[in-house]
């Protein structure tokens, strides 16, 4: 059953045609919201600057829609260029004061652990906000929040281990290096994992002593604003973390071109990533980009097929398919192709799609009408290209942005549904005969974010893992993240890495010191 009402509305409902409505009335800095599961809370609506929620300078706001009901949740303040200037200046003052960058690193460790504690204690509310705002299944949202907690604690553990080294350059000099923070970091996060990407961005930046101005996705700003109230409570000083809600063409552009911002971190589409890279390059900023993907998920004949099918489902229908590393191209060894496809079709048709607040739901809604329309358009493209629609390909219900899990067979490698990122619960299935044929097809992509391999032969696992052009390869599992394991892409899937020790390199620079002693 789909939701009847997402929230207790705090202002009159508006039509969907005004989804990005900007208004000029004075909006409270917090509004009461009652969630479908009965949880009541106060939602911050302001920009978070200098450890305070404040209205935007121009008083503009925009509407936030619940994608599972198409109803208004609330309005939040919309940042513009002058608000970005305020946030950057606050971050710059905080960095230069040394209140965060120059303290004993254990102070950062304690603060990040406290932030993780606050979030963990409030896990149910935060996960429910994520489900309301993004449309993802509540079970997935709870998993996301736990990953947030784990990653912040992991970053806390790294905070006092950012070490340089002593270099033996002969007895006449004492030479050493130290790793220093960059300064103000501009960060832009996507709408598919709003809070998890918030943590992936601020965690390593804060652990290494930087300050942050972060832009939320305009369609999913609520969870990042909500957890920001814990920043001062955790002991993080004013100006260290600043959150601005707004639109990419205004706020994103201001961040990527601002002279005081020393580094840009972005997660989103490859097309936008290229634009950001150009902007940042013109100002010689350090850049990390986690971009799109069209990841292969491979099943060999010796695999446990039932387990493989479940991993394929997790790979493509988890988070409604709105996952940059989704296993959207499935390759199956010819001898088990028919059997695998039959099992996969049955399992796909059994996936529960609908009310994201139902604990038994696996696939919630798509995050926006725009994304739903894009997915349905690709379904039509697949049909026109001559692929066989095995199952799904239709909108589910007439309220909320739901779509049935979708499988295409009889595809050719030059089809758009094979080449282009759809970013939804749509998968193509292709057969292969040899490892060489598989590698050629799997690597024939501009992307290189992730891949999956299903086999009982460890030699096959090693051989194929080493040959696939992918930043992450999962074997007999999929979408299996860990806070200590780096994540990022090859080729058009990005630059740099999130998580693990590697993420810290994105937020530090090396200084060499050479002292003459003789």
Question: Hey, which residues are catalytic here?
Answer: 290
Instruction: Annotate 303-338 with b (16+ C-beta within 10 A) or e (fewer).
Output: bebeebbbbbbbbbbbbbbbbbbbbbbbbbbeebbe
Bridge-partner residues for 189, per DSSP? none
| Number of other CB atoms surrounding residue 125 within 10 Å | 17
CB 362 within 8 A of CB 141: no
Q: How many residues does the chain have?
A: 518
Residue 110: both structure tokens together: 């304690």
Which value, to the nearest 10 degrees, does the dihedral of the CA atoms of residues 249, 403, 421, 429 take?
180
Pairing outcome for strands 286-290 and 211-216: unpaired
| Cα 224 to the center of its chain, rounded Å | 12
| Three-class DSSP category at 210 | coil
Q: How would you write 161-199 as a 3-class SS string?
A: CCCCCEECCCCCEEEEEEEEECCEEEEECCCCCHHHHHH
| Number of other CB atoms surrounding residue 495 within 10 Å | 17
Of 13, 75, 15, 11, residue with least CA distance to 45: 75
DSSP 8-state class, residue 285: -
Locate tokens 């003789």: which residue?
Answer: 518
In sign, the C-alpha dihedral spanning 342, 343, 347, 348 is negative
Q: DSSP states of 343-401 as a string?
A: HHHHHHHHS-BS-TTSTT-SB---S-HHHHHHHHHHHHHHHHHT-EEEE--SB-SSSSS
């Amino acid at each position: 059953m789909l939701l009847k009402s997402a929230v207790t509305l705090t202002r009159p409902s508006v039509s969907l045609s005004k989804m990005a409505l900007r208004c000029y009335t004075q909006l409270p800095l917090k509004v009461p919201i009652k969630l479908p599961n009965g949880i009541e809370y106060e939602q911050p609506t302001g920009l978070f600057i200098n450890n305070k929620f404040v209205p935007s300078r121009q008083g503009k706001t925009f509407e936030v829609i619940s994608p599972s009901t198409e109803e208004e949740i609330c309005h939040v303040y919309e940042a513009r260029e002058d608000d970005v200037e305020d946030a950057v200046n606050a971050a710059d003052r905080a960095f230069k004061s040394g209140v965060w960058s120059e303290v004993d690193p254990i102070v950062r460790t304690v603060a990040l652990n406290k932030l993780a504690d606050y979030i963990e204690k409030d896990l149910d509310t935060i996960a429910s906000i994520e489900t309301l705002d993004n449309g993802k299944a509540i079970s997935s949202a709870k998993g996301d929040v736990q990953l947030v907690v784990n990653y912040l604690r992991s970053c806390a553990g790294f905070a006092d281990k950012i070490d340089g080294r002593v270099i033996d350059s002969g007895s006449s000099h004492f030479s050493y290096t130290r790793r220093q923070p960059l300064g103000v970091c501009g960060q832009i996060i996507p709408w598919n994992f709003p809070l998890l990407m918030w943590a992936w961005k601020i965690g390593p930046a804060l652990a290494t002593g930087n300050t942050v101005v972060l832009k939320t996705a305009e369609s999913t700003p609520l969870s990042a604003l909500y957890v920001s109230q814990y920043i001062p409570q955790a002991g993080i000083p004013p100006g260290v973390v600043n959150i601005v809600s707004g639109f990419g063409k205004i706020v994103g552009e201001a961040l990527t071109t601002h002279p005081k911002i020393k580094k840009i971190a972005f997660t989103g589409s490859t097309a936008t990533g290229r634009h950001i890279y150009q902007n940042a390059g013109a100002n010689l900023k350090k850049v990390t980009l986690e971009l799109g993907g069209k990841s292969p998920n491979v099943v060999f004949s010796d695999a446990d097929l039932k387990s493989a099918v479940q991993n394929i489902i997790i790979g493509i229908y988890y988070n409604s398919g709105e996952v940059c590393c989704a296993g959207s191209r499935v390759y199956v060894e010819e001898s088990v192709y028919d059997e695998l496809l039959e099992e996969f079709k049955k399992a796909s048709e059994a996936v529960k799609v609908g009310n994201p607040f139902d604990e038994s739901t696996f696939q919630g809604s798509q995050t926006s009408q725009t994304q739903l329309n894009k997915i349905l358009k690709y379904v039509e493209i697949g049909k026109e290209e001559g692929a066989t629609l095995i199952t799904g390909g239709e909108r589910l219900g007439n309220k909320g942005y739901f779509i049935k899990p979708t499988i295409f067979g009889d595809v050719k490698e030059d089809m758009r549904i094979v080449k282009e990122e759809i970013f939804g619960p749509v998968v193509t299935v292709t057969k292969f005969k040899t490892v060489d044929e598989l590698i050629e097809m799997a690597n024939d992509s501009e992307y290189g974010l992730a891949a999956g391999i299903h086999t009982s032969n460890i030699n096959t696992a090693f051989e194929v893992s080493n040959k696939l052009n992918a930043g992450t390869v999962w074997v007999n599992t999929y979408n299996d993240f860990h806070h200590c394991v780096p994540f990022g892409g090859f080729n058009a899937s990005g630059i740099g890495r999130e998580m693990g020790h590697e993420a810290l390199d994105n937020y530090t620079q090396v200084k060499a010191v050479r002292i003459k002693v003789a």
